[in-house]
Structure 1
């Protein structure tokens, strides 16, 4: 007898909507009566081309992206973008500004250091990345090649809340939004480049979405000509993300997830649900009389990754063991931080968060 579906709180690859999985299951062997799977179709054929274009159209529609931007489907994850961005936009004699709010922004800056000069306009590392720096503490310059931020920090459970002050920065603004893209509406026009691995809110691993201003790429065309063709954004713009064979099944799955988001009510509805889910778990932390201690400051709390500590390592192990017995998956905190982490991306249902909240309440009452 097949095992029931569990409560999936994995940080990524993460939960997918069950209805999306059923669509993929139904179409796996015979996509749209073509007699073969979408995985078997040529990426140059009409069947896949429709999937490709529909995915782009849905991204633009749901995020309200205007014609100044290109939407690209690339490979290599966000980690590849850590290098591709400075290769394309960090000229000799300029510096890139990385706002450090966690391990992924550190890794992005480290990769850029191999290519050019960088500095950090702000960092919360000294306080164990428990908060997002206030805008009035972030140093920027009109001479920055670009300012880079990580919108949501999966390991530490922090997130940027308000992007309005970005308009005051006089340099291009780039953002790694891998773990919270499509979780709420964002002002895309405040950014020059956004990138995100799909495996949190958009689908399975394998495809990376890049949203980039055309005129930004055009300004750096001469600079980028020294790069191998596959490393240039212009190459992928001109090739409609088909310069090399794209991850067709991952893009098909992403298109199906995007259709689900639209059918559910779009990004405003995703935001409403995510706020409700996060509130359940933060309530369990706040009402535990100190038994659970959240990692992040209240003002910087993530809606996607709720992180907390228990009083002892022994209690943490017991919590995770009992959670596993109750069919919770993925609650181990990141190895660099420890504790517990619940990743509650779009596809994690309210019911799973309600069951986890009840488990947290009962465990705290039993052991404090």
Structure 2
């Protein structure tokens, strides 16, 4: 079996043991005589998968029963609209930090629904960064404050959760469960699964039940968090196989442990940053204190060299290193399941490429 190193930003690398287990049970899940993709979402086999996934997430995040864990469809992009639809009413204000493309996308959707205060704006700063606490201007009485903890396109990451004075909502799509945090600081967390939690097709939401109860009751049922809390995310047919894969991935996360993952993730990223810092050929795009452990972004002296770098790396088994189409450059996405051997291979390739082309 020839596995390449997949540096894609998402869908992304999954733990190999998770893929093997899913492969073994694909046609006949644990003697049920059918695949998870075929079984009823109301049946006992799937019910056990569903509830284990919820329990795993709650344990990993360190959340108690004040929180509900939801598995929703539409990805994190759906949450950009669903959040303000539920909580941002007339004559109310929501605070948003705009530190990159995904923060800006959340702002754009919220502004269609209600009044938005930009608590801090560094989206266009070069080098890319996250705002410092002293820059953030929170609105007294805001219905919630929204942050994006890791900007995959710019390669900048928030290192500490801010004090906001209002319910904190965090889009953690690209760094959820990559490090130990006090997740109880957040009133709501959401994340598309396809970076650190499993394949695409499901979005995770962790939300305080008392916050959800304040949501807009005049919305259609599918758009209300309370609907999905009351139905245990079974109001409609859920993406069963994606949730099954999330269940397997969270089992793996529990086995490895967040402290170990954090050290591994930090060490993996540093291998690439060390090459960048020792070179005048490569240029990192994010401020050092804001550098992401998940998405390492950098440039070469010319776009022609970047194109050559991407092609030669791909030929060597290192795939999807091209930066986002909106910014170009190089992006190495190295989420939880990405093997250290792949990062070592990239670092060695970077040194060799510079020696040949610098």
TM-score w.r.t. the length of structure 2 is 0.98
Q: Secondary structure of the residue that 1:44 maps to in structure 2? A: coil
Are 1:191 and 2:183 matched, yes or no?
A: no
Are 1:249 and 2:247 matched, yes or no?
A: no
Task: Give 1:142 deviation, angstroms.
Answer: 2.1
C-alpha distance in 2 between matches for 1:130 and 1:41: 46
Residue equivalent to 2:125: 127
Residue equivalent to 2:44: 46
C-alpha distance in 2 between matches for 1:103 and 1:314: 25
Q: Secondary structure of the residue that 1:40 maps to in structure 2? A: coil
Q: Secondary structure of the residue that 2:154 maps to in structure 1? A: coil
Query: What is the 5 A alignment of 1:9-28?
Result: 9-28=7-26
C-alpha distance in 2 between matches for 1:349 and 1:271: 14
Are 1:101 and 2:99 matched, yes or no?
A: yes
- State whether residues 98 and 118 of structure 2, in contact with CA within 8 Å, keep that contact through their aligned partners in structure 1: yes
C-alpha distance in 1 between matches for 2:124 and 2:46: 48
Q: Decide which moves more: 121-130 or 225-234.
A: 121-130
**Could you list the runs of 4 or more consecutive aligned residues of structure 1 that deviate by over 3 angstroms after TM superposition?**
none
- State whether residues 307 and 340 of structure 1, in contact with CA within 8 Å, keep that contact through their aligned partners in structure 2: yes
C-alpha distance in 2 between matches for 1:128 and 1:112: 26
Aligned counterpart in structure 1 of residue 53 of structure 2, from 52, 55, 79 = 55
- Ranges in structure 1 where 5+ consecutive residues have no aligned partner: none
Task: Give 1:219 deviation, angstroms.
Answer: 2.6
- State whether residues 31 and 37 of structure 1, in contact with CA within 8 Å, keep that contact through their aligned partners in structure 2: yes
Are 1:367 and 2:357 matched, yes or no?
A: yes
Residue equivalent to 2:63: 65
Residue equivalent to 1:309: 299
Residue equivalent to 2:267: 276
C-alpha distance in 1 between matches for 2:227 and 2:341: 45
Are 1:325 and 2:337 matched, yes or no?
A: no
Aligned counterpart in structure 1 of residue 79 of structure 2, from 74, 78, 81 = 81
1:113-170 residue CA offsets vs partner (Å, 9 max, x unmatched): 111111211011241471100011100022212110000000000000012x42xx21
Residue equivalent to 1:297: 287
Aligned counterpart in structure 2 of residue 208 of structure 1, from 203, 222, 247 = 203
C-alpha distance in 2 between matches for 1:341 and 1:217: 37
- State whether residues 100 and 124 of structure 2, in contact with CA within 8 Å, keep that contact through their aligned partners in structure 1: no
Query: What is the 5 A alignment of 1:148-163?
Result: 148-163=146-161
1:337-357 residue CA offsets vs partner (Å, 9 max, x unmatched): 111000000111000000000
- State whether residues 62 and 184 of structure 2, in contact with CA within 8 Å, keep that contact through their aligned partners in structure 1: no
Aligned counterpart in structure 1 of residue 343 of structure 2, from 350, 353, 361 = 353
Q: CA RMSD in A?
A: 1.0
- State whether residues 58 and 258 of structure 1, in contact with CA within 8 Å, keep that contact through their aligned partners in structure 2: yes
- State whether residues 291 and 310 of structure 1, in contact with CA within 8 Å, keep that contact through their aligned partners in structure 2: yes
**Larger % of helix: which?**
1
The alignment covers a number of residue pairs equal to 358
- State whether residues 94 and 144 of structure 1, in contact with CA within 8 Å, keep that contact through their aligned partners in structure 2: yes
Q: Secondary structure of the residue that 2:78 maps to in structure 1? A: helix
C-alpha distance in 2 between matches for 1:353 and 1:144: 42
Q: Decide which moves more: 140-149 or 201-210.
A: 140-149
1:18-48 residue CA offsets vs partner (Å, 9 max, x unmatched): 1110000000000010111011110000000
